Chains A and B, each alone.
Chain A
C-alpha cells in the first residue's frame, strides 16, 4: 500500500517539477472584447513572427476585460465600450483608452419574400424593439419602403442573451434616437428587453434569425458578411439610407478625436456615415510600474500598441473591420506617449 501511495506522490511531484521548470518567457497577457478577437489574433500572429513577442489574448468579453484589468491579472484589456464611472472609481490607477479599430452593428432579418434590401428608420427600429410594431406590414415600415410588398407576418425580435459590447453599442444608439427607449429600457451590455428572444453570442442570434420566418435581430458586421446574411439599410441623421460597409463605417469614424480617445460614433452627422458604429479600445494603466510588472513588459506593451495603431491596421479591411482614421491614429499616438513607467515616459523616440 505504502508503495502505491509513495509512487503516486513521486509521480505527482515529478510531473509538477517537469512542468514548472519550463519558465516564463516574454509573454504579454490581454483579455476582453470577443469582437476584437479575430483581428487581434491576426495582428498578434504577425507581430510574433516579426518581433518574437508572444501576446496571449483571450476573448472573455468587454466587461471581463475591464474587471481583469482592475484586478491586475492581465497586462492590457480590450473593450467595445469605454469604462463607466463606477469602473473608474474601482480602478486602482488611471486607465488609458487607445482606439484600436472601428466596428458596426447591423440589423439582419429573415424575410425571403423581399426582393430589395429592407430600409429602416430610427423610429421604426425603436418601434420594433420596443414591441410596438408587431407586424411586418405596419404602415410605419411600409412608408419608408415604397413599392415593397411586405408580408402580413408577426415580427420576432432576436437579441443577444449574453452581456456583450454589441448590445451596448446597439442600445446606446436606440437610447440616443428614442427618448422612450432611453427612459424605459436604457443602455447597457445586458438590458431588460421589452420583446423578443435571446440567443447566446452572434451565432445564437444568427441561428434564431435564420430559423424564424419574420425575425429581425442585431449582429456584428463581420459575422453578417461572413455568413451571408441579409441586413437592412439604416437612415442616418442626414436622411440617407446607408448600407453598412467598411467605407460607410470609416465615414462615420472620420471625426475630430478628443484627447482621451473616448469618442462616440453613434447617430453620426456624416452624410455617408453608418449610424450604428463604434470604436473599440485597448485599455492599459497610465502608470505601468505596479505589482509584478517589470519595465521590460511595459516597453513591450507600449511598442506593441504603437505597432497596432500603425502597421497593424493593414489587416483590418480583409476581416471586415474599418481601419482607423489619421485623426484617430494621431490621438492614439498622443495617448500612448502619455504612458509612464515610474514617472518616466516609455515611448520617447518616434518610431
Chain B
C-alpha cells in the first residue's frame, strides 16, 4: 500500500510538474521586461508632445514650435490601407490554396516562395519596387510604396491562413461536403469563418510588421512634407518621419519623432483591439 518508492516517485513527478510550471511562467513573463523597458522609453519621450495640434498640423522646420504629424498620419493610413487591399485577398487565397493542396509541385514551390519572401530584407523589397514601378513610371509614388509593403505582408498572411486552416478538424469540411455544398461555399461559409481569428491575427501581425517599416518606403513612397492624398505622388508616412527626425541633430525634431513613435504604437494597439472586436462579432453571427 504505502510503498515509499511509489510516493517518492509521485512526489517527484508533482515536483517536476510544479517546477516546469514555474519555469514556464518565469520565461513567459521575462519577455515582457524588454517590452516594458521599451514602452517606458517611448512613453517617457513621447507623451509630452502629443496634443490636438500635434495630430492636425504638418511638421514645421527647426526652431519653430508646434509642428505636427498630420501628413505622416494620413499618409501612413493610406499607404497601409492600399497595401492591405492588395495583400489580404491574394494572401488568404494563397493560404487556402496551400491548405487545400498540401502536396503537389506548385504547392511545394509556393510554400518555398512564401518562406523566401519572409526572409528578404525590407530594403531589398524597396529596391525591387523601385526597379519595377518607380523607374519605369518616372517618379516616386505612394502606390509603389504600397506594393512594396504588400509584398512584405503576403508571407505572414499566407502562412497564418495555411497553418490555421490545416489545424481545423477535417470532419468540419467533410460534414459540409456531405450536405452537398460546393467547394467555394465550404471555404467561405465554413472554413474561413471558423479559422477567422487565426487569419485575422495573421493579418494583424502583418500590418503591425509593415506599419513600422522605413526601408521599403525610402525609394518608393519617398516622403512629403505637405499634406497629400494623391497615391500617384510622393507621400509621407510615420516611419519615414521617425527615421528622418530621430536621426537629425535637433531636439525639436527628436521630440516629434518620439511623439510619432508613440502614436504608431497606440495605432497598432488600437488596430489590435479593433480586430478582436470584429473577430468576436463574426463568430457570433456564424
Complex Cα–Cα for A201 and B225 (A): 22
Structural contact, A37 and B138, CB atoms closer than 8 A: no
Task: Tell me whether chain B's interface is mostly helix, strand or loop, or mixed.
Answer: loop
| 29 pairs from A and B in contact (CB 8 Å cutoff) | A15-B82, A18-B229, A19-B231, A23-B230, A24-B232, A29-B222, A29-B234, A34-B247, A37-B244, A37-B248, A38-B249, A38-B253, A41-B62, A41-B225, A42-B61, A44-B61, A45-B61, A45-B225, A48-B226, A56-B224, A57-B225, A58-B234, A202-B247, A203-B247, A222-B249, A226-B249, A227-B249, A292-B138, A292-B139
**Could you mark each residue 199-226 of chain B with 1 if its beta carbon is under 8 Å from any beta carbon of chain A, else 0?**
0000000000000000000110011111
Most chain B beta carbons < 10 A, residue from A16, A22, A56: A56
Q: How big is chain B's contact interface, by range? A: 35 or more
**Could you mark each residue 8-22 of chain A with 1 if its beta carbon is under 8 Å from any beta carbon of chain B, else 0?**
100110011011101
Interface residues of B in 137-172 (CB under 8 A from A): 138-140
Give the top 4 A-B pairs by smallest Cβ distance, nearest first: A223-B249, A42-B61, A226-B249, A41-B61
* Inter-chain pairs besides A20-B230, A45-B60, 14 sampled, C-beta below 8 Å: A1-B188, A8-B89, A11-B85, A15-B81, A19-B230, A20-B232, A22-B228, A24-B230, A34-B247, A60-B218, A73-B138, A220-B249, A223-B249, A318-B63
A233 located at the interface, meaning its Cβ lies under 8 Å from any Cβ of chain B in the complex: no
Query: Which residues of A are found within 8 Å of B60, using beta-carbon distances?
Result: 45
A71 located at the interface, meaning its Cβ lies under 8 Å from any Cβ of chain B in the complex: yes
Q: What is the chain A residue whose CB lies nearest that of B85?
A: A12
Measured CB to CB, the residues of A under 8 A from B are 1, 4, 8, 11-12, 15-16, 18-20, 22-24, 27, 29, 31, 34, 37-38, 41-42, 44-46, 48, 54, 56-60, 64, 71-73, 201-203, 220, 222-223, 225-227, 291-292, 318-319
Task: Tell me whether chain A's interface is mostly helix, strand or loop, or mixed.
Answer: helix
Query: Which residues of B are found within 8 Å of A8, using beta-carbon distances?
Result: 85, 89
Q: What is the chain A residue whose CB lies nearest that of B63?
A: A318
How far does the Cβ of B179 sit from chain A's closest Cβ, in whole Å? 16
Complex Cα–Cα for A8 and B87 (A): 12
